[in-house]
Amino acid sequence: GAGVSQSPRYKVAKRGQDVALRCDPISGHVSLFWYQQALGQGPEFLTYFQNEAQLDKSGLPSDRFFAERPEGSVSTLKIQRTQQEDSAVYLCASSLAPLAEKLFFGSGTQLSVL
The answer to whether the CB of 17 falls within 8 A of the CB of 77 is no
Local structure of 87: helix, strand or coil: coil
Closest CA to 35 of 90, 103, 87: 90
Q: Which is nearer to another protein, 14 or 102 (CB)?
A: 102
Q: Which is nearer to another protein, 99 or 114 (CB)?
A: 99
Which residues contact another protein (rule: CB under 8 A)? Answer: 4, 31, 33, 35, 40-45, 48, 56, 59, 91, 93, 95, 99, 101-108
What minimum distance in Å lies between the beta carbon of 9 and another protein?
A: 9
Q: Which residues pair with 26 in a beta bridge?
A: none
What minimum distance in Å lies between the beta carbon of 23 and another protein?
A: 11
d(CA 7, CA 97): 24
What minimum distance in Å lies between the beta carbon of 18 and another protein?
A: 25
